[in-house]
Structure 1
């Protein structure tokens, strides 16, 4: 019997490349860890769509592709962290490990490098989902 909450958590996946979005979905799967609820994906391909969805306030975790065009995921992450109230945690996907400094500048909460390691992606998203769930617990 599962102890995971019943309501799915929404994971936004931003990339202009449908193949990258599909790789992210496959890496995370339907439920990245047994103690977490199912994942509901929200796929977006443009920076304005990211901003609009985050402004709605129902996204639990965002995954951004640093190589997206014309607006890279790291710039989109930085904008979201600066402008979105209660911004969800963000996982940044970088093409080169040396871009880690840029991911730090963007204030990404976690970083993975291409090629995607499905275990690392699922683990990172699971950690961010737990962080988001904990941030929404009522204070006693």
Structure 2
């Protein structure tokens, strides 16, 4: 359960090592001015969709090369289907695939292998932007 002030970040990949690498690179607190991160790991689409449907997600990190459902396509789907979609970052294997992430409407990208400084800074920027945004009222 998330404590007040904590942030919920979902990381999606069928690869447990990649999910662990993301958690390790970013850590429990992306920046001193932000709350602690409660990590939620999803290994398949149904787990990810259930988390997004909960409405309590602050940031989503998607493995662009996940199998059988890649994060690039999922990002585009979620951005077009979810009202007030949380920010989505796509993890890429190759920097050359940033154009695909732009097509998918990703808010940011990270290229593997992950640089912990860049990963934490990018996560912090997206979390700050989410906190500062005006929420969509349904």
Segments of 4+ moved more than 3 angstroms:
none
2:82 alignment counterpart: 84
Deviation, 1:130, is 0.2
Which residue, out of 132, 135, 139, partners 2:133? 135
1:3 alignment counterpart: none
CA RMSD of aligned residues (A): 1.4
Structure 2: distance between partners of 1:77 and 1:45 = 15
2:14 alignment counterpart: 16
Deviation, 1:135, is 1.5
Deviation, 1:136, is 5.0
TM-score of the superposition, structure 1-length normalised? 0.91
1:7 alignment counterpart: 5
Deviation, 1:48, is 2.0
Secondary structure in 2 matching 1:81: helix
1:65 alignment counterpart: 63
Secondary structure in 2 matching 1:16: coil
Q: Is the 8 A contact 1:110 1:124 kept in 2?
A: yes
Deviation, 1:61, is 0.3
Structure 1: distance between partners of 2:22 and 2:31 = 15
For residues 41-120 of structure 1, what are the structure 2 equivalents within 5 Å? 41-120=39-118
Gaps of 5+ in 2: none
TM-score of the superposition, structure 2-length normalised? 0.92
Gaps of 5+ in 1: 1-5
Deviation, 1:7, is 1.6
Task: Say how many residue pairs are matched.
Answer: 133
